[in-house]
Amino acid sequence: MSVLATLVTAAQPVPVPAPPAPAATITQPPISYPAIMPILIILGAACVGVLFEAFLPRHNRIAAQLVLSVLAILVAGWRLLSYADEMPETGTITLGRALAVDKPTLVLWATLLVLTIGALILMADRTVERGGYFVADAAVRPGTVQDRAQAGRGEMQTEVFPLALFALGGMMVFCAANDLLTMFIALEVLSLPLYLMCGLARRRRLLSQEAAVKYFLLGAFASAFFLYGLALLYGYAGSVQLSDIANAAAGTNRSETLLFGGLGLLVVGLLFKGSVGPFHTWTPDVYQGAPTPVTAFMGACTKIAAFGGILRVLSVGFGTTSWEWRGVLWGVAIASMVIGAVLGLTQTDVKRMVAYSSVAHAGFLLIGAIVLKPAGLSATLFYLVTYGFTTLATFGVIGLVRNADGEATHLSQWAGLAKRSPLVAGTMAFLLLALAGIPLTSGFVGKFVVFQAALSDGMAPLVVVAVLASAVAAFFYLRVIVLMYFSQPAEDGPTVTIPNLWTTGVLTVCVLVTLFLGIAPSLVLDWTSSGVFALQ
């Protein structure tokens, strides 16, 4: 009866409405602008980059974009450094607890900024590949008459620069996200530009577009997993804040199905981005198909952002329940190391080989991430710094070895490279030794601190597996070195293209950092162990 009465009332002409109630006051959350200034600068510069694309004539764009992006990163880095001095010891939680700017965040941000400058300079190189690594007009169908016509034009799609800045902004938010919704938005902001950038290669366009589509489809699934996990966790804790989830999980007797179901799905999304273990299947295809500077950017920066997020989620959000889920991530870490090391052995393409090496490295990183103590955090951050520089340089060098068809990535083409170009072969050998973790390189120190942290937390079996896996992985790195130094070069083998001064500079810096961190790591180790995540 009452329902009918309601309907009848609704149908009647509404009586004179009461004056609207005074609007509820909405208190604006305090915003610490100095803390988030680096993000604002990067995203703002990306927007300006889009305007450059719209209004600048084509021949001016590449220089303008490069100057804008590098300048923005330098200014962001300067703001970051000046904020590092005034930041409170426990970090700043701002924007209504959405972002946490603390010591690990600053370490991750600084590393991301430096590595992105390197990647941008690699992307802007137009001497190695005439006209640039990127296609002149990505919308033209590969293999058509128009495609052959544009291949001769010395132009490139300069949208990569604003796209890279948007991705960088997303990565920075991802590392600092203190609640899962912010983290999800950041995940999308960092992923979508990368999907596009993967499909922009000048050569082997079908392979490149295939990589982009694969990455997009699998990435969309991973995002859906993440979002589903987020929803279940919200159902459990009634909040998407990481610290609220930790508090809800501590000391209640409610069913934990939602908590661990949610965590499982959430972690799948995160591990996918970090190309860990059984969620790595996109990695070789995408690393191989994407333009090499983009692969360098992805290999270095996406890994850092993903593990920054994993570290924060696990230690802030799920530190209180670690004894329940840690066993599962033990298994994932072992799977990742074994998959990376064993499948890396069978690869015949250099880029795919380094992709599998990155899967193995993701396993090592995961060991550090599940230590959940300051030692583990500092070790993982250090490992990320070393891995980022080494990977950037490795892909930079891979882009230099070319024949008439573009990059010569098949392993057999690298035979005898040392006789043609001792410098490039030597650099590559050094970088591969660093990836393998040989002493006097940063890779050794990175592995050492991670294994040490794991041992101190009672994960000796995991460390044994990790050492075995790195021994297996060392075999395929050494195989390339043997191939370069002890094989006869083929008659029509590839040559090494001399890059421009800027690219040479980036490669030199990365190699020097790899060497320096292998000899005197304490400077960076002090920096990465200077603070822990802000818990609030």
Contacting positions for another protein (CB under 8 A): 3, 6-7, 23-26, 28, 47, 50-51, 53-55, 253-255
CA angle 446, 450, 453 (to 5 degrees): 145
Output the smallest distance, CB 75 to another protein, in A: 19
Mutual orientation of helices 460-486 and 422-436 as an angle, nearest 10°? 170
269: its two tokens: 């999304």
- Comparing CB distances to another protein, the nearer of 53 and 147 is 53
Q: Helix count (H) and strand count (E) of the chain?
A: 22, 5
Q: Which is nearer to another protein, 4 or 18 (CB)?
A: 4
- Specify the residue, 7 or 18, whose C-beta has the smaller distance to another protein: 7
Closer CB to another protein, residue 18 or residue 24? Answer: 24
Nearer to another protein, 23 or 423 (CB): 23
Smallest gap from Cβ 254 to another protein, in A, equals 7
How far apart are alpha carbons 429 and 478 in whole angstroms? 8
Would residue 182 be called left, alpha or beta, if left means φ above 0 and alpha means ψ between -120 and 50 degrees?
A: alpha
Task: Supply the minimum distance, in Å, between the C-beta of residue 5 and another protein.
Answer: 11
Name residues whose C-beta falls within 8 Å of residue 77's C-beta, 6 or more positions apart in sequence: 38, 110, 113, 114
Q: Is 349 helix (H, G, I), strand (E, B) or coil?
A: strand
Q: How far is the CB of 140 from another protein (least distance, A)?
A: 13
98: how many CB neighbours lie within 10 A of its CB?
A: 21
Nearer to another protein, 12 or 25 (CB): 25
Q: What is the CA radius of gyration of the chain?
A: 25
Distance CA 234, CA 232 (A): 5
- Rounded to whole angstroms, the Cα distance separating 487 from 476 reads 16
> Least distance (Å) from another protein to the CB of residue 19?
14
Of the candidates 23, 11, 68, the one whose C-alpha atom is nearest the C-alpha of residue 43 is: 68
Q: Between residues 53 and 155, which has the closer beta carbon with respect to another protein?
A: 53
User: Does an H or E element contain 92, and which?
Assistant: strand 92-94
Query: Is 130 or 141 the residue whose CB approaches another protein more closely?
Result: 141
Give whole-number Cα distances, 366 to 61, 246, 277, 384, 451, in Å: 41, 20, 10, 11, 11
Is 366 in a helix, a strand, or coil? helix
In terms of CB distance, is 10 or 423 closer to another protein? Answer: 10
Which residue, 3 or 18, has its beta carbon nearer to another protein? 3
Q: Nearest approach, Cβ of 47 to another protein (angstroms)? A: 5
Q: How far is the CB of 26 from another protein (least distance, A)?
A: 5
Residue 495 dihedral angles phi and psi, to the nearest 5° = -115, 165
Cβ 58 to another protein shortest distance, Å? 11
C-beta closer to another protein: residue 31 or 67: 31
Could you say which DSSP state residue 28 is in?
P
* Spatial distance between the Cα atoms of 442 and 40, rounded to a whole number of angstroms: 32
- Smallest gap, in angstroms, from Cβ of residue 198 to another protein? 19
Distance of CA 519 to the CA centre of its chain: 26
Least separation in angstroms between CB 187 and another protein: 18
CA distance readout (Å), 148 to 35, 137, 140, 529 = 49, 11, 10, 53
257-273 and 303-312 helices cross at what angle (nearest 10)? 160
CB of 51 to another protein, least distance (A): 6
Q: How far is the CB of 11 from another protein (least distance, A)?
A: 13
CA-CA distances (angstroms) from residue 104 to 89, 111, 186, 208, 326?
Answer: 12, 11, 17, 35, 22
C-alpha–C-alpha distance, residues 20 and 13, integer Å: 18
CB nearer to another protein: pick between 20 and 458: 20
